[in-house]
Chains A and B, each alone.
Chain A
């Protein structure tokens, strides 16, 4: 996406001064109620249609996941997991895609100014015209979401339909979901809605039902209602406690200012040394031989 909401930017990649952010935004969120999802993939189709993307037609890989993974042209994919417990089979279907982290690892890792922005409403958007194709966002993402396109060497992912949201519409997947499993609104409202859903699920015996809004990434702007929130991993390896890797934090955090300071100090040390000691000129006379140990 391009940066449509240029006055509503909270964070901008590789930028050390505040981005234009005078307007206060309402935090939005998409809530995906996994317990209501029937795996129809209408959201995948709506995503392709609204964003005008036509992924290549794939082949059946033996499971219902189709396409089998996120791609630069499939920004959301239904992940099907079979759970066998106590002699009964449960089908766990999770709509995978960008979680729009409050503390986005992609944005932190990106070296290109303005290639990734986070709007005041919490949406994390890739601005492909500024993307240099390095893939650092892939390295930084705790959810394995961004995909590098083989066509143009730019990365793509779910925009949370930032273009629709900016003009007051809900994301295309929300609009199309036939069961109401995907809802959209302010993050506060979505949490309230989730709480109601959890009361219902718990009354039906799902004791471990819960809201997935992982604090390790500051919370997310895509949240899940999970029947088994105590074990998010069973939902096709949804991480239990995602956070930006300490290696990424160190790389983009303390290391770089320290390294730059070390380079500056080293160069300065040279200047000061030269001023104190002066140039090392060759001396014409050999020093007396007895002042030196013999050559090895």
Chain B
């Protein structure tokens, strides 16, 4: 579908490219990590050239993901600061999920749920990055005491679980909210989409009340 003449730009080419490079790196790091997460998923090593290659690649793929997240976060973090109206919005999260978003305060460029998602993603990314270095063999693990290596390994698995759960939620929300995936692939949204899902942002970009 071509963009209507009154379409609103939601994501620039740079933002979309940044997002999808991050998404690709997430799947590569995630699938290579899941291969070692549980024996039932060890077969995933076949996508990466076998066990040793998967082990070699995973930390670099994870590092790429962390850097690509940082690149995207630099672009969007200032839209994600939590305001008082966001706290009010979160009280109505159940209403929004039930399709009654009109009961929640009007959302800006991102609603409070998206903002919380952003900061939780950032927390998981930082956790994965820091703990990943602590047991990265053969390069870094030798520099840390064994109790720290054990703790880091445990926390890495916890943070990875958290990240995967968040991304499952993120993907579902984008599918559920019709028009969102097009916003991130083609960059534009309809006026109705902006008015329905992000009314405060809609007013801001159109100066319309």
- Picked from A111, A133, A282, the residue with its CB within 8 Å of the CB of B192 is A282
Within the complex, what minimum Cβ distance (angstroms) separates A85 from chain B?
A: 30
Q: Are A282 and B138 in contact (CB under 8 A)?
A: no
Within the complex, what minimum Cβ distance (angstroms) separates B121 from chain A?
A: 15
Main SS of the interface on chain B?
A: helix
Closest-by-CB residue of A relative to B102 is A287
At the interface, yes or no: B21 with Cβ under 8 Å from chain A?
A: no
Q: Could you say which residues of chain B place their CB within 8 Å of the CB of A295?
A: 106, 108, 199-200, 203
At the interface, yes or no: B137 with Cβ under 8 Å from chain A?
A: yes
Contact with A along B83-107 (1 / 0, CB 8 A): 1110000000000011100100110
Within the complex, what minimum Cβ distance (angstroms) separates A156 from chain B?
A: 14
Q: A16-B39, A113-B39 in contact; A282/B179 too (CB < 8 A)? A: yes
Q: Whole-angstrom distance between the alpha carbons of A250 and B158 in the complex?
A: 11
Q: Are B157 and A251 in contact (CB under 8 A)?
A: yes
- Picked from B35, B37, B56, B85, the residue with its CB within 8 Å of the CB of A296 is B85
At the interface, yes or no: A293 with Cβ under 8 Å from chain B?
A: yes
Q: Could you say which residues of chain A place their CB within 8 Å of the CB of B137?
A: 133-135, 138, 148
- Picked from A133, A270, A278, the residue with its CB within 8 Å of the CB of B52 is A133
Q: Are B149 and A256 in contact (CB under 8 A)?
A: no
- Picked from A135, A260, A287, A293, the residue with its CB within 8 Å of the CB of B138 is A135
Q: Are A279 and B138 in contact (CB under 8 A)?
A: no
Q: Could you say which residues of chain B place their CB within 8 Å of the CB of A148?
A: 137-138
Q: Are B135 and A111 in contact (CB under 8 A)?
A: no
Within the complex, what minimum Cβ distance (angstroms) separates A16 from chain B?
A: 5
- For window 92-138 of chain A, which residues contact chain B by CB distance below 8 Å? 111-113, 130-136, 138
Q: Whole-angstrom distance between the alpha carbons of A113 and B54 in the complex?
A: 14
At the interface, yes or no: A245 with Cβ under 8 Å from chain B?
A: yes
Q: Could you say which residues of chain B place their CB within 8 Å of the CB of A16?
A: 39-40
Q: Could you say which residues of chain B place their CB within 8 Å of the CB of A289?
A: 209
Closest-by-CB residue of B relative to A287 is B102
Q: Could you say which residues of chain A place their CB within 8 Å of the CB of B37?
A: 111, 256, 259-260
Q: Whole-angstrom distance between the alpha carbons of A248 and B135 in the complex?
A: 13
At the interface, yes or no: A291 with Cβ under 8 Å from chain B?
A: yes
Count chain B residues whose beta carbon lies closer than 8 angstroms to a beta carbon of A: 57
At the interface, yes or no: B193 with Cβ under 8 Å from chain A?
A: yes
- Picked from B51, B151, B176, B196, the residue with its CB within 8 Å of the CB of A273 is B176
Closest-by-CB residue of B relative to A291 is B102
At the interface, yes or no: B110 with Cβ under 8 Å from chain A?
A: no
At the interface, yes or no: B154 with Cβ under 8 Å from chain A?
A: yes
Within the complex, what minimum Cβ distance (angstroms) separates A199 from chain B?
A: 38
- For window 253-289 of chain A, which residues contact chain B by CB distance below 8 Å? 255-257, 259-260, 262-263, 266-267, 270, 273-274, 277-284, 286-287, 289
- Picked from B138, B158, B177, B196, the residue with its CB within 8 Å of the CB of A150 is B138
Interface segment, one of B11-19, B71-79, B164-172: B164-172
B150, B158, B178, B199 pick with most chain A CB within 10 angstroms: B150
- For window 115-137 of chain B, which residues contact chain A by CB distance below 8 Å? 135, 137
Q: A111-B42, A274-B176, A277-B97 in contact; A259/B157 too (CB < 8 A)? A: yes
Contact with A along B143-173 (1 / 0, CB 8 A): 0001101110110011001001100110010
A-B contact count (CB 8 A): 147
Within the complex, what minimum Cβ distance (angstroms) separates A99 from chain B?
A: 16
Q: Are A277 and B39 in contact (CB under 8 A)?
A: no
Q: Are B195 and A270 in contact (CB under 8 A)?
A: no
Q: A133-B55, A135-B138, A270-B172 in contact; A255/B42 too (CB < 8 A)? A: no
Q: Are A283 and B153 in contact (CB under 8 A)?
A: no
Q: Are B190 and A132 in contact (CB under 8 A)?
A: no
Q: Are B38 and A263 in contact (CB under 8 A)?
A: no
Q: Whole-angstrom distance between the alpha carbons of A14 and B35 in the complex?
A: 11
Q: Closest 3 interchain pairs by CB?
A: A270-B172, A132-B51, A135-B137
Using a CB–CB cutoff of 8 Å, the interface residues on chain A facing chain B are 14-16, 111-113, 130-136, 138-139, 144, 148, 150, 153, 245, 247-248, 250-251, 255-257, 259-260, 262-263, 266-267, 270, 273-274, 277-284, 286-287, 289, 291-293, 295-296
Write 15 A-B pairs (CB below 8 A) sorted by A numbering.
A16-B39, A111-B36, A132-B55, A153-B52, A245-B147, A250-B154, A256-B37, A259-B161, A279-B176, A280-B177, A282-B192, A291-B102, A292-B199, A293-B106, A295-B106
* 20 further contact pairs, Cβ within 8 A, besides A247-B150, A273-B172: A15-B39, A16-B39, A111-B39, A131-B52, A132-B54, A134-B55, A248-B154, A251-B157, A255-B154, A273-B97, A278-B99, A280-B176, A281-B178, A282-B190, A283-B192, A283-B196, A284-B192, A296-B84, A296-B105, A296-B200
